[in-house]
Structure 1
Amino acid sequence: MNNTQKMLSGEIYNAYAEDLILLRNKARHLTKEYNDSEPEETEKRKNILKKLFGKIGENFEIEPPFHCDYGTHMEIGENFYANFNFLVLDDGMVKIGDDVLIAPDVKILTATHLVNPKLRPKNADYTKPVTIGNNVWIGAGVIVNPGVTIGDNSVIGSGSVVTKDIPANVVAVGNPCRVLKSISEE
């Protein structure tokens, strides 16, 4: 199993292996080109992101600056919007549904490290995937930690640190993020 396969399967991998460095560098070049583009270059921007992401719908907008580790490990649905300073460490898979709104300064993280320092070698990482359902709104400054799933129709309040799964149809806030209330049809 190569490092990319280990990384995506959640096994311990060497983040500084040559094959992963090459993939990250490709993403760095594409995100630099994207972040340096002019606001009027909407088609150019869309084409760059289509090259970068594993999958993305046809209707999307991401305000620069945007940064990610690989891009290819992200799947994004239709009608996606991310505001300024969106950061995704997509060492593991990141799946985002349709009609998702991301406020400024949101971070989605999949990479993590061993807790025991004796078992934590310098270049050893592992990943846990992140899944965000349909019709989700994530407020400004939110951090979504590795292994989290956010259910459909939920809202994550500004400044929250999401450390555990959030069910569908709720408003959740805080550090650590917890359910504040259910969302009704009213």
Structure 2
Amino acid sequence: MAGSERTKMAAGEWYSCLDDELEALRALARDAVFEHNCLPPRQRGNLGTGLKALLGGVGEGVRIEAPFHCAYGLNIVLGDGVFLNAGCTILDTASVRIGKGTLLGPNVQIYCAEHHRQAAGRQAGLEIARPVEIGAHAWIGGSAIILGGVSIGEGAIVGAGAVVTRDVPANETVVGNPARTTG
């Protein structure tokens, strides 16, 4: 498909991240993240104003502890009462939707981008973006890694340090690398 790299990224097609428009969007995100991470906690509150304006959607009572990092921010939608503990990273080249009341432990990482398998493709900055969906009232343990293209169901638990490479059904608990059900 012809079009801008941003259009290709949004469509889930291979795109080059070495693109001026995408770099400008990442620069906006870096500025908002910097403000959020550097404000004194009492001044910042639950969420820095620049980061709140950047995100694609923010429900009531969302709290993001510093430090936090995201790639674009505009692809992240957080439901009411979502809590992201310190050190969370969301590389949101695709949609990341986190349902209400979901808790992310410290250093949780969500990676939507998948780099090209060929060295020449990686050198050209080729990526493909895969969305992540986390249902309401899920609990993602500290240092868990969630790869693009994964859905985690409502009420699910992802154990600390787990690497989630495939969908997790509602109310299931997964642990390990790769993450597997406990029962």
| Displacement of 1:146 | 1.1
Corresponding residue to 2:83 among 74, 81, 84: 81
| Displacement of 1:49 | 2.6
Paired residue secondary structure (1:78): coil
Corresponding residue to 2:157 among 132, 155, 158: 155
1-side partners of 2:139 and 2:35: how far apart?
A: 27
Structure 2: tracts of 5 or more residues without a match: none
Paired residue secondary structure (2:22): helix
2-side partners of 1:91 and 1:110: how far apart?
A: 6
Corresponding residue to 1:135 among 116, 134, 137: 137
> In the alignment, does 2:12 pair up with 1:15?
no
1-side partners of 2:100 and 2:46: how far apart?
A: 22
2-side partners of 1:98 and 1:84: how far apart?
A: 19
| Displacement of 1:179 | 1.0
What's the TM-score once normalised by structure 2's chain length? Answer: 0.94
Paired residue secondary structure (1:125): strand
List aligned pairs for 1:90-129, cutoff 5 A: 90-117=92-119, 120-129=122-131
Percent pairwise identity: 37
1-side partners of 2:161 and 2:150: how far apart?
A: 16
Residues 171/21 of structure 1: CA separation in 2 closer, same or farther (3 Å cut): same
Structure 1: tracts of 5 or more residues without a match: 182-186
Match of 1:32 in 2: 34
| Displacement of 1:8 | 1.4
| Displacement of 1:3 | 1.3
| Displacement of 1:10 | 1.0
Task: Tell me how many residue pairs correspond in the alignment.
Answer: 181
| Displacement of 1:119 | 5.0
Match of 1:47 in 2: 49
| Displacement of 1:116 | 3.7
Paired residue secondary structure (2:77): strand
Corresponding residue to 2:178 among 136, 151, 176: 176
| Displacement of 1:114 | 2.2
Say if 2:46 and 2:61, in contact at 8 Å, map to a contact too: no
Q: CA RMSD in A?
A: 1.4
Corresponding residue to 1:58 among 60, 65, 72: 60
Q: Which runs of 4+ in 1 moved over 3 A?
A: 42-46, 116-121
Say if 2:47 and 2:62, in contact at 8 Å, map to a contact too: no
Give the counterpart letter for 1:171 in structure 2.
Answer: T
